[in-house]
Amino acid sequence: MLPTFRYHPDPLGTGAFQKGEPRECQCCGEPTDIRYEGPFYAETEITCLCPGCIVTGKAAETFDAEFQDPFSIDEVSDPSKVDELIHRTPGYCGWQQEYWLAHCDDFCAFIGYAGWEDIVRRGLAKEIEETYDAHTCGFDLDMVKQHMTNNGHMQGYLFRCLHCGKHRLYVDCD
């Protein structure tokens, strides 16, 4: 059973975890058929972490590592939320540098990868137009609408506020 990650609610669906043949977790030594496939900033190369070692913070503590760069996150006032995000939340893979968005003074949940067509299909175009921050992303919204495709050269990363439910979008390019 996969534990609950507040800031990454569907890590199997986003590809942060993959199911496969059991392998030994390099942190706890136990076999796991669900292993982490996302970013892990550590001095040692780690190829297999189980969900349990991530959610408890054991993996980050054991390897003095982070799942998210603390300098590539929106600001929130509660240090325990920052700790949960960078030490106990599976990350996502970006083209350049992953960036984690916040809203209502808390980090948003990472929903998944998206192109503009995905945003429109989900009925989120108007909401994203209202919440989009070109300064954070570095791209004009018209350019995003024209060029952002899922798995394309311009990639969107969709987030949802845990408190008010608003969706936010981060964008980068290869």
Question: What is the domain partition of the chain in residue ranges?
Answer: 1-93, 95-173
Q: What is the mean pLDDT of the chain?
A: 95
How would you label 56-80 residue by residue, b for 16+ Cβ within 10 Å and e otherwise?
eebbbebbebbbbeeeebbebeeee
pLDDT single digits (tens) 74-102: 999 999 999 999 999 999 999 888 999 99
Residue 62 gets the label, from left (phi > 0), alpha (psi -120 to 50) or beta, of alpha
pLDDT for 138: 85
pLDDT band per the 50, 70, 90 thresholds, residue 1? confident
pLDDT band per the 50, 70, 90 thresholds, residue 127? very high
pLDDT band per the 50, 70, 90 thresholds, residue 4? very high
CB atoms under 10 Å from CB of 103, counted, come to: 20
- Whether this prediction's pTM lies above 0.85 is answered by yes
Residues 6+ apart with CB under 8 A from 83: none
pLDDT for 136: 82
Residues 6+ apart with CB under 8 A from 91: 8, 16, 38, 39, 40, 67, 68, 98
